[in-house]
Structure 1
């Protein structure tokens, strides 16, 4: 038989070729990364530990690799696409005496199918607008961005013309779930989150408005010492979030210059204000700052939804083909209302800058520095006896080398 050479597929852009013997096109890509984190866990995870001793590491080293497969073919219903991104991650241990091998892990941030406007599988939430990696190495600048780990979605997108689209999506509620404070525990997932957006993409940039509904439900609290007693619990409530975002391309300032911002407000769905919005605890010596995160507070089987709002923005400037610098920041506030004085209202602020040097094509060497502050922190029973509660702040830095090999 004659040799069947690989044939370039030009239907979907650069990098695709036909799988031999089929009319299906595939593109393989990915990257390899090494980074050194100072005073940060992983890629700039905010400090969440309430105890920092000589047994815990201030610095960590991480290696990560990702492979992507983009497979497409034409059908009577349009382009059938499947996309997979799978990788391996290894991080040095943050605790003395623990082997770093225990932190090796496989992860799959993307595995989805698209056809005729439908998207099903693990993709990115359709609520998201702000793209964190465009401005920072961190995955935890506190805007709504599920891009790093992905989200389970079942969505339909209608193209309305002139760059305007509308999407409705059912998404995994646990991705945004932030727990309950009070005399009960959060229930297992009852219903998916319902997400919708209206988006405009044009040459000048893009804009989006979005909203989400999030079911908040709790487990029953049975009477202690009474066998087979009926449990009581607060009734379910629907949390919600609304937001908007805008991005402007600024080629008059630099080839790839752009500025982007996103703002969100939520009640009972504070995970939409910040995808990385977890419970904060920053300790310096005998002083601790606490910021609890929960979708609701329950007292005597009565539920009160938590309120939160936040804004995140970033700007990137391209000095020349080899150098880029970005400036980014975020601010937000969490309000627990009247039910939980022990979990006081708190706010966060973050500001940082990243510079990337690209000495050769597809090799990025970057330095990212971020400052974050936890303000008006609350008090919890766990730390009152041993520490003084106060506002806290921290500096963090990350040095990264990344070799991209997508076409």
Structure 2
């Protein structure tokens, strides 16, 4: 009996012990790892959060933009060879060309949908903040938003087909004052205040670069950069006058325009309570190959390399006007360049360049920084000219109420190719001097923060004179049926109405 009692007590003790262990397993352990909740990181501004388990702060955001606009179509100008039919080929290379396009064959509407994803990660180090930023853009466009015609010259009709384009707007790493990757150009100053393009250089997709910025104190900074010219609109920086035996230049086309050196850019900037100001400059190399038939015969198709130095300088100032209303400001910009169209005039702000989005005639083949031409009837040597550009721009921003604002913007540009280029028939690659100006005004309502609904009206105009040839000599007579090979004076203008709905988050 005593033995049975002993076994019973031992069994009961074992069951109690196992039960106690099981209950203890169900209770929270004091040694379990604590849960890491996402915490606000206010060291870099609003929207940053600590990435759990790291020492990195991350901000994730985006933007959706919907644009639609209307621009009335215009008939283009038509030139004819002496006594012959309308030109039908492409300009340059000795091929006559047609510039006529009926207004019924081009678009009048543009539709644009853009989605952006933006990420910004920052980590502190012994050398300061390490920043890594990426902005990806997907854009779907049709009509004028895809390929707007150059009304008057080089017309691209029937651009109704839609397209979706992935673009990297920014992708860079910043560390100890250095920037590596694709970021805003160190030359540009003007903000993107209006919807339509203006004739002042901007870099909406950024530009690949290696740069360094030094903070000098009192809001003063200085930057120096090597920027990739391949990201610019005028990547084919040089061309030649087309072959024409009757022409005094007897020019021929170049074969290639290789990019051999990056652009060297620098600026000096000040940011203070009254506003900001900046001086900037750029030096770049324009290249081409001089390739006449005689030269090509002994150089395997390429002639000697032609190089010239292009440059530009710019100055801008932004003055805050709190005495009018909070947020009011006025911005001014002036730039002058030689052989540097991208940095002074051609690249427009926002989606399209000034040539397409303003949808006016003019700027005939101003698509190159440098022109190569032959010297002498047999082309034993070459001459070189670079285009000059003067640009002026201004923006006035006024807040009628905290949620209602307006922007008024104007630009003026004067493009002047070299003397030989200006006196050469446009069918042989000649470029004319051109003067253009544009005005844009918009009204934007923000019912909530970072949500804009706006409407804009813009007008742009171009004036130029195209040189022609009659019997091998430049002429200056009006284009008529009796004098079809002539100099044509062109004054073309057009307006655009545009609506935008945009939400940034």
Same fold (TM over 0.5): yes
The answer to whether the 8 Å contact 1:129/1:144 transfers is: no
Q: Please give the per-residue CA displacement for 1:142-195, whole angstroms capped at 9, x wherever unaligned.
A: 22221x111111000111110111111000123163633423255121100000
Greater helix share, 1 or 2? 2
For residues 323 and 177 of structure 2, what CA distance do their matches in structure 1 show? 35
Closer/same/farther in 2, CA of residues 291 and 319 from structure 1, 3 Å limit: same
1:398 aligns to what?
498
Identify the match of residue 56 of structure 2 among 24, 46, 71: 24
2:114 aligns to what?
64
TM-score (norm. length: structure 1): 0.88
The answer to whether the 8 Å contact 1:33/1:403 transfers is: yes
State the Cα distance separating 1:218 from its structure 2 match: 0.1
Closer/same/farther in 2, CA of residues 263 and 283 from structure 1, 3 Å limit: closer
For residues 159 and 185 of structure 2, what CA distance do their matches in structure 1 show? 38
Q: Please give the per-residue CA displacement for 1:292-338, whole angstroms capped at 9, x wherever unaligned.
A: 32212211121111111101110100011221011100001011121
1:45 aligns to what?
none
Residue 109, structure 1, aligned to residue 169, structure 2 = yes
> For 1:92-241, what aligned pairs fall within 5 Å after superposition?
92-94=142-144, 96=158, 99-100=161-162, 103-131=163-191, 133=192, 135-138=193-196, 140-146=197-203, 148-174=204-230, 175=232, 177=234, 179-182=237-240, 183=252, 184-221=254-291, 223=293, 226=297, 229=300, 231-233=302-304, 235-241=306-312
> For 1:3-402, what aligned pairs fall within 5 Å after superposition?
3-39=35-71, 51=101, 53-94=103-144, 96=158, 99-100=161-162, 103-131=163-191, 133=192, 135-138=193-196, 140-146=197-203, 148-174=204-230, 175=232, 177=234, 179-182=237-240, 183=252, 184-221=254-291, 223=293, 226=297, 229=300, 231-233=302-304, 235-276=306-347, 280=355, 289-293=362-366, 294-300=368-374, 301-340=382-421, 341=423, 342-378=430-466, 389-402=489-502
Closer/same/farther in 2, CA of residues 361 and 380 from structure 1, 3 Å limit: farther
TM-score (norm. length: structure 2): 0.71
Moved more, 220-229 or 304-313: 220-229
Closer/same/farther in 2, CA of residues 350 and 377 from structure 1, 3 Å limit: farther
1:46 aligns to what?
none
The answer to whether the 8 Å contact 1:18/1:25 transfers is: yes
SS in 1 for 2:494: strand
For residues 321 and 494 of structure 2, what CA distance do their matches in structure 1 show? 32
For residues 359 and 178 of structure 2, what CA distance do their matches in structure 1 show? 46
The answer to whether the 8 Å contact 1:173/1:193 transfers is: yes
The count of aligned residue pairs is 388
The answer to whether the 8 Å contact 2:198/2:411 transfers is: yes
Q: Please give the per-residue CA displacement for 1:212-251, whole angstroms capped at 9, x wherever unaligned.
A: 0010110241536837547434631111111111000111
The answer to whether the 8 Å contact 1:297/1:339 transfers is: no
Measured on the aligned residues, the alpha-carbon RMSD in Å equals 2.7
The answer to whether the 8 Å contact 2:255/2:302 transfers is: no
SS in 2 for 1:5: coil
For residues 144 and 215 of structure 1, what CA distance do their matches in structure 2 show? 18
The answer to whether the 8 Å contact 1:234/1:302 transfers is: no
Closer/same/farther in 2, CA of residues 315 and 86 from structure 1, 3 Å limit: same
SS in 2 for 1:226: helix
Closer/same/farther in 2, CA of residues 272 and 18 from structure 1, 3 Å limit: same
The answer to whether the 8 Å contact 1:369/1:395 transfers is: yes
State the Cα distance separating 1:356 from its structure 2 match: 0.1
State the Cα distance separating 1:271 from its structure 2 match: 1.7
Unmatched tracts of structure 2, length 5 or more: 1-32, 74-98, 145-156, 241-251, 375-381, 424-429, 470-478
SS in 1 for 2:105: coil
- Larger Rg, first or second structure (1 or 2): 2
State the Cα distance separating 1:343 from its structure 2 match: 1.5
For residues 321 and 24 of structure 1, what CA distance do their matches in structure 2 show? 35
Unmatched tracts of structure 1, length 5 or more: 42-48
Closer/same/farther in 2, CA of residues 250 and 279 from structure 1, 3 Å limit: closer
